[in-house]
Amino acid sequence: MYALVINCGSSSLKFALIHAKERNTVISGGAEQLDTPEATLSIKYHGEKVKNKLEDPTHLGAFKEVFQFLQKEGYADKIKAVGHRVVHGGEYFQESVEITPEVIDIIKKCAPLAPIHNPANLTGILAAKEVLPDLPQIAVFDTAFHQTMPEEAYLYGLPLEIYEKYNIRRYGFHGSSHRYITERTASILDIPLEKLNIISCHLGNGASIAAIRGGKSVDTSMGLTPLEGLMMGTRSGSLDPGLIPYLVECLDYDIYEMDNLLNFDSGLLGISGVSNDCRILETKAKEGHKRCRLALDMFGYRVAKTISEYLPALQRLDAIVFTGGIGENSAYVRELIMSQLAFLGYRFSNPSNSFCTGGKEGVIATSSNFGKALVVCTDEEGMIVQDTLEIVAQKEKQASSIDSTVEQ
């Protein structure tokens, strides 16, 4: 049996068919530039990648074409359930759940907290329900893992009534990644999960850091939305709130143009003026491009600073863990970060750091007082599959128990 994982963006749909027992990806791919004439669907199967133009360039059209491919290859009848990544669950969900009409209503209710992501996630859910109406559909929330944060970490310094009335607080994201990294690191270091203290650094186009104490999230860099925290690929990260009305006046922007500036035109892209792709920036920086070097220096400094800020929350540190597209693959950025943490006594290994790219995990630095620095490959899809299958198994067990009671 297989689980189908769906991750929808505003103009994209990513999918993966994963074997339920072996947890290996059999077929994967995605649609891009949806709702435009340039919409395409790429499918990777048996080591080959095929890319075709979509006749129906909608999310539903893309999902139907994916399902037709699965039917043609004989997998459609073997799908046990569909797991969906949902970015924002507010305070409503501390764990993954089966999608019901009530859950759909709450995802809609949380849409203002993640206006780019939640409507897109919901589009994927509705498309999957239309094509596969009889299969269980499971929602796995980015925010759920961080619901263990204490009040002093998640509250803003606003009048408390605003939080109580509008649920305005820090939620955090990349929960599936941080949760996987926590469990994987506990296994690598052979430390019981409930005793593990780490700082998990998910560094990619979107980037966040989480302080994990006793296996649970106690602080994280993203906030009400994914804009807070680190400078990212195209996001500004945290800045002085007073800057916003000042910029609105200077640039004569409305609130929507301001939102676009902070989310899509800032970060590595805005500073470098070249790209939000770390690989391109590294190449340019090594060639002497000052703005590209500045962008990377700013990124590395902010990561190192945030790591240092989380030490009081943990008191004792077993490991700093790097993951995500940049965290797993950029030896350059990791060295930038670790060089600024040398005051913690880390002995950095250049050979190990260079080795840990392209899916290779390992220790890149050690400290007598602050544990190790590791590179660990994340598996967000694996966490979605795990939760999806566990919920389905629990549902089947309950149904079997009810049937047994009725027969008696």
Are 199 and 341 in the same domain? yes
Q: In terms of Cα–Cα distance, which of 172, 253, 257 is closest to 217? A: 172
Instruction: Please confirm, yes or no, whether 142 is among the known catalytic residues.
Output: yes
Query: What residues have CB less than 8 Å from 166, skipping those under 6 apart?
Result: none
Whether the model clears a pTM of 0.75, i.e. scores above it, the answer is yes
Are 121 and 268 in the same domain? no
What number is the average pLDDT over the span 63-67? 94
Neighbours of 407 (CB within 10 A): 6
Q: Are strands 362-367 and 347-348 parallel, antiparallel or unpaired?
A: antiparallel
Are 63 and 202 in the same domain? no
350 annotated as a binding-site residue: no
Q: Classify residue 133: in a domain, yes or no.
A: yes
Tens digits of residue pLDDT in 35-53: 899 999 999 999 999 999 9
202 annotated as a binding-site residue: yes
- pLDDT averaged over the chain? 94
Neighbours of 141 (CB within 10 A): 29
Q: Classify residue 26: in a domain, yes or no.
A: yes
pLDDT at 21: 86
201 annotated as a binding-site residue: no
24 annotated as a binding-site residue: no
110 annotated as a binding-site residue: no
Are 226 and 319 in the same domain? yes
Percent of the chain residues topping a pLDDT of 90:
91
The dihedrals phi and psi of 106, each to the nearest 5 degrees, come to -70, -40
Are 11 and 132 in the same domain? yes
Q: Which domain holds residue 228?
A: 191-377
Burial of 172 per CB tally in 10 Å (0-12, 13-18, 19+)? buried
Are 251 and 112 in the same domain? no
pLDDT at 407: 64
Burial of 404 per CB tally in 10 Å (0-12, 13-18, 19+)? exposed
Are 135 and 196 in the same domain? no
Tens digits of residue pLDDT in 219-278: 999 999 999 999 999 999 999 999 999 999 999 999 999 999 999 999 999 999 999 999
pLDDT at 113: 85
Q: Classify residue 32: in a domain, yes or no.
A: yes
pLDDT band at residue 112 using 50, 70 and 90 as cut-offs: confident
Catalytic residue among 35, 56, 134, 142: 142
Are 117 and 239 in the same domain? no
CATH number (domain holding residue 100): 3.30.420.40
Q: Classify residue 102: in a domain, yes or no.
A: yes
The number of folded domains in the chain is: 2
Tens digits of residue pLDDT in 149-165: 999 999 999 999 999 99
pLDDT at 403: 65
Are 203 and 310 in the same domain? yes
Q: Classify residue 401: in a domain, yes or no.
A: no
Q: In terms of Cα–Cα distance, which of 46, 80, 76, 42 is closest to 62? A: 42
Are 198 and 313 in the same domain? yes
What number is the average pLDDT over the span 173-192? 97
Q: Classify residue 169: in a domain, yes or no.
A: no
Q: Classify residue 28: in a domain, yes or no.
A: yes
Are 202 and 336 in the same domain? yes
Q: In terms of Cα–Cα distance, which of 169, 168, 166, 200 is closest to 182? A: 200
Are 125 and 228 in the same domain? no
